[in-house]
Amino acid sequence: MTTLLTVQDLSRDFGGVRAVNHVDFEVKQGEILALIGPNGAGKSTVLNMVSGVIPPSEGEIRFANQLMTRVPGYEYAKLGITRTFQNLQTFDDMTVLENVMVGMHTKTHSSLFSCGMSLTTARREERTMQERAHTWLEKVGLSSLASSHAGSLPYGKLRLMEIARAMVAEPKLLLLDEPAAGLNHTETAEMSRMFQEIRENGTAILLVEHDMDMIMTIADRIVVLDQGSKIAEGTPREIQENPCVIAAYLGTEEQVESRG
Amino acid sequence: MTELLQYVANGLVSGGIYAIVAVGFITIYNVSKVINLAQGEFLMLGGMVTVAMIGMNVPYALAAFLAILIVTLIGVLMQKYVIAYVKKASPISLIILTIGISTLIRGLASLIWGKDAYSLDPITSNQPFSLGGVNIAQQSVWILAAVLIVLFLLWYLMDKTMLGKKINACSVNPMAARLMGISPAKMSMLAFGISGATGAIAGIVIAPLSVTSYDIGVLLGIKGFSAAILGGLGNPLGAAVAAFILGIVESLGAGYISSGMKDAIAFLVLIVMLLVKPSGIFGERSVGKGGL
Amino acid sequence: MKQLTKKWGKSLGIYLALMIIFPFVMPDEYYRSVGIIIGLQAIVAIGLCLVMGLAGQISLGQASFWGIGAYTSAVLTTKFGLTPLVGLVASAIVPAVFAFILGRAIAGLQGYYLAMATLAFGYIVQIGIQEWEPVTGGASGMISIPQVPFFGGSELSMYYLIWGIVTCVLLFSLNLMHSRIGRAFRAIHKSEVAATSMGIDVRKFKLNAFVVSGMFAGISGGLYAHYMGILDPQPFGMHESIKFLTMVVIGGMTSIWGALIGTLVIGFISEGLVMLSEVVPGLQGDVDTIVFGGILVLIVMFMPEGLVPRIRSLYEKAQAKKAAANAEQRVERKAAI
């Protein structure tokens, strides 16, 4: 399998505090890589750097053999990286359908003028967008809520909507920041199946998650961070048996489970 | 050479006034993270209320004192009943709110006093004196003295007193301040009061030199804000220095280029500054940059 | 979606009907001219709404684009003898270029910086018009600007010309709002981070909104110059910018219809104040300024979303209640059977 994303020697400081410290890992085409670690390990910071939200202090990120450090944030979607957010970034005053349609921004090209004049090309594109957005809403099970305002939806549904919004852009790499947070057991299981399906269709996933059941079921490989540094990498089985990881992370698993 | 010195002297006087406005902006901003776009109206009110009181045969000094008191009260009330009410408003709403307050005050002033320009007697004689060929109005000396005293008192209050430490605590970490028993709401009210008082003083001392009318607040407000940005918002000393520089540049521009363009020069400086280095010459703190 | 277009069609129908019959209900020349001015202001307000409500920016200098548009066409027609049509095209382009330059410069600014920069720009333009006397006539202004040769240029034909343009601007903006571009604007307003992650170039889109709003204001300004026949710098200052701001804020920043309704509301209030000043002799100063300032403060305090969105959400709530009541009835009936 070819490598899709290479993260090399990645570091990030926040006002003198090192949040991420010389981290290396790779994501291969069509795999699910999980990034785990206790709270404050720097997982979200890594995800924010890989998605171009914040620049790294040191190190390199390569995506499909392109150096991403100098690429502006809005180019990431076009190149094939989209994401969801841990603290939901939804457009509350738009409908669910419209939210998902925003995700297709890079796949559409009507100009301001043709949109304002509602020219045939713009109208045709609008219809295609609606159809495609509906397809994805169906896949995540939100079809019936398409015309509801996003602001009126419960937490769990919004997470699904964000996934649909990220997937309509047909990314090569999907970044997920704690997608299962706040979901119940059945919902999490459904979501796991969906991620496996997404992988089957050729999209690689970089997943930050606390839910161990989900990670152990779907992840091909796992990278463990602790206090900003990588402490282990391997298959789920290897990670479960790694003494370092058990000390740093799995020791707190009881808390995680009792919380879920 | 004399001409140049004359322009510099004029610039220092208006720069002093801008300095008070700029520091007023910063005092409020540091505590409450609100830019009070009605800051200029405090100056207008200071001058106009004094003029009105004197018109009612109140002695000069008492009129000035009452004007300062009234404007201080307006500042406090504005914070208590309007700004505090919309604590959780978005930045764009806060801008609209303070612009609204400023417009409202200006409108009321035009209703009460009309659109005429008024002038106030100078504190001492109208007779200018000459210093190495440069003509200086006696009032200019009063203005500079008032500016320096106000700036000094503010510095003393903020840096040397317990109250100042409390205000600073609110600015650095409101949550911790609250835990220490300091009320950020009260400190914010205090900041609006201080800005009102200093604004009123500036409005009173400038009135004899340049006439005062209902609409002088806007220009003074923008210029004070320019200085506050030039100096790095959040840094009172930097703002004061920047204000004097702005005053001198403006005066030189008015003298050597065109007097009609005087105000445009200040605004051009503002826009250029915003483009080149929004964090200011002296400061690194930035506002308005949306983080994650 | 279908429901949306249907609802939209209804508002549009009501709007068109009212707009067309107004001059016949109010046959007085004076009210027709008031209608024309309100139409011109509506064009500016809709443009400002695109900048503020959709892209989440603020502009306190919108009247300056209006002024640039007005003077562009006035100067081209009176000093260079061009026809008003050419002048009007230029009055759309020149302010858009100014908006592009200013917008490009300040696209990275937010919040207070943006507010102050646009306010300062407004002043610079007004000072510029006053000082560039050989071309603009300075403070005393310009006279004998030719009329637009549209069906003889009577008050009635001007009314329909201008409201026809208002309708075009309105439709353009409504279309835009429900397209990929409009959704991108609204996305930026809500979360710049999320918008960026979806491939939206935030700076570019803010700039686009700014340029379109400058262009709308310019078109309106050009029409204003030819309609009035005379120009002076006075109406293009901060007072007017605040007025436009108030229109957008009262109607509801996030709604294109809101901008139109807001313009009408402010138009009525302004007319009411004119009448009031005739009745109350001692009324001096800018009473309308007090009203605008008061409205801005009260709206932010008590109805931050503005009139149109507030009414819409009340209506939707009532509908939902009705639907719920109906459903309950049905259940009861079923239970009874």
* Contact call for residues C201 and C136 (beta carbons, < 8 A): no
The least confident of A44-58, A216-230, A239-253 is: A239-253
Tell me which chain A residue has its CA closest to the CA of residue C190.
Answer: A91
Rounded to a whole number of angstroms, the distance from the CA of B92 to the nearest CA of chain A is 17
Q: Specify the higher pLDDT residue, B269 or B101.
A: B101
Q: What is the pLDDT of residue B287?
A: 39
Q: pLDDT-based confidence at B284, cuts 50/70/90?
A: very low
Model pLDDT for residues A136-149, shown as the tens digit of each residue:
999 999 999 999 98
Distance (Å) from the alpha carbon of A53 to chain B's nearest alpha carbon = 8
pLDDT at position B290 over 50: no
Task: Provide the greatest CA pair distance for chain A.
Answer: 64
Please count the other Cβ atoms lying within 10 Å of the Cβ belonging to residue C31.
16
Using the Cα atoms of residue C230, residue C101, residue C46 and residue B96 in order, give the sign of their dihedral.
negative
What pLDDT, on a 0 to 100 scale, did the predictor assign at position B222?
Answer: 87
B275 near A CB under 8 A: no
pLDDT of amino acid A184: 87
Q: How far is CA C85 from the centre of its chain?
A: 22
- What chain B residue is nearest to C237 in terms of C-alpha separation? B218
Predicted pLDDT of residue C147: 86
Chain C contacts in chain A segment 16-45 (CB below 8 A): none
- Please give the torsion angle defined by the CA atoms of residues B33, B38, B44 and B49, in that order, rounded to the nearest 10 degrees: -90
Sort out which chain C residues have CB atoms less than 8 A from A53's CB and list them.
193, 196-197
Chain A segment 93-152 residues within 8 A of C by beta carbon are 93-94, 97-98, 101-106, 108, 110-112, 115-118, 122, 125-126, 129-130, 147
Going from N- to C-terminal start, the domains of chain A cover 1-80+171-260, 91-170
Q: How far is A93 from chain C (nearest CA, A)?
A: 8
For Cα atoms B82, C253, C13, give the angle at the middle one, nearest 5 degrees. 135
The β-bridge partners of A6 are A26, A62
Which domains are seen in chain B, by residue range? 2-116+135-276 (1.10.3470)
Between A and B, how many residue pairs show a Cβ–Cβ distance under 8 A? 3
Residue B277: pLDDT band with limits 50, 70, 90: low
pLDDT for the residue C190: 87
pLDDT for A38 beyond 50: yes
Digit-coded pLDDT (tens) for B184-227? 888 899 999 999 999 999 999 999 988 888 889 988 998 998 88
Return the residue in C101, C289, C303, C305 with the most chain B beta carbons within 10 A, the one to mutate for interface testing.
C289
Q: Report the pLDDT value the prediction gives residue C4, as an integer from 0 to 100.
A: 44
Judging by DSSP bridges, how do beta strands A17-28 and A3-14 pair with one another? antiparallel
Average pLDDT of B65-83?
Answer: 95
Compare CB distances from B89 to C115, C293, C304 and report the shortest one's residue.
C304
C297, B82: Cβ pair inside 8 Å? Answer: yes
CA-based angle B115:B116:B117, to the nearest 5? 120
ipTM confidence score? 0.88
Asked if residue B174 has pLDDT above 90, the reply is no
Instruction: Tell me what pLDDT residue B285 has.
Output: 42
Task: Enter the tokens of residue C161.
Answer: 């010309």
pLDDT at B280: 64
Tell me the chain B residues in contact with residue C284 when contact means C-beta distances shorter than 8 Å. 110-111, 114-115
- Find out whether C24 and C35 touch, Cβ atoms under 8 Å: no
The shortest CB-CB distance from C1 to any of A82, A105, A147 is to A147
3-class state of residue B117 by DSSP: coil
Residue with more model confidence, C188 or B262: C188
Residue A195: pLDDT over 80: yes
Is B96 close to C245, i.e. CB distance below 8 A? Answer: yes
To the nearest whole number, what is the mean pLDDT of chain A?
89
CB < 8 Å to A53, chain B: 292
Q: Which residue has the tokens 């903020």?
A: B158
Question: Superfamily for A1-80+171-260?
Answer: P-loop containing nucleotide triphosphate hydrolases (3.40.50.300)
Contact C285 B111 (CB under 8 A): yes
Q: Do B288 and C114 touch (CB under 8 A)?
A: yes
| Partners of A67 in the β-ladder | A62
Q: Quick check: B292 contacting A, CB < 8 Å?
A: yes
Residue with tokens 């997404």: A198
Which of A91, A126, A173 is most worth mutating to test chain C (most C CB atoms within 10 A of its CB)? A91
Residue of C nearest to A112 (CA): C181
Interface of C with A (CB under 8 A): 1, 3-4, 172-173, 175-176, 179-184, 186-187, 190-191, 193-202, 208, 212, 254
Instruction: Tell me the nearest-neighbour CA distance from A252 into chain C, angstroms.
Output: 32
Q: What local confidence, expressed as pLDDT, does residue C1 receive?
A: 38
pLDDT at B286 over 80: no
Is residue C66 within 8 Å of C72, Cβ to Cβ? no
**pLDDT grade for A259, boundaries at 50, 70 and 90:** very low
What local confidence, expressed as pLDDT, does residue B229 receive?
84
Q: Which of C12, C169, C180 has the most A C-beta neighbours within 10 Å, making it the best mutation to test the interface with A?
A: C180
What H or E segment, with its residue span, contains residue B94? helix B91-113
Query: pLDDT at position B281, please?
Result: 60
Distance (Å) from the C-alpha of residue C262 to the closest C-alpha of chain B? 15
Pairing of strands A58-63, A66-67: antiparallel
- Torsion of Cα atoms, A56 then A61 then A67 then A70, to 10°: -20
CB contact under 8 A, C198 and A78: no
What are the 10-residue block averages of pLDDT along chain C, 337 residues in total?
54 90 86 94 96 85 96 94 92 95 79 84 90 88 86 84 95 93 92 93 91 96 95 91 95 93 94 85 78 94 91 86 82 72
Are C58 and B114 inside 8 Å of each other by CB?
Answer: no
Model pLDDT, residue B66: 96
Tokens found for residue C5: 């277009």
Number of other residues whose CB lies within 10 A of the CB of residue B130: 9
Counted across chains B and C, CB pairs separated by less than 8 A come out at 156
CB C216 within 8 A of CB C63: no
- Global pTM reads 0.89
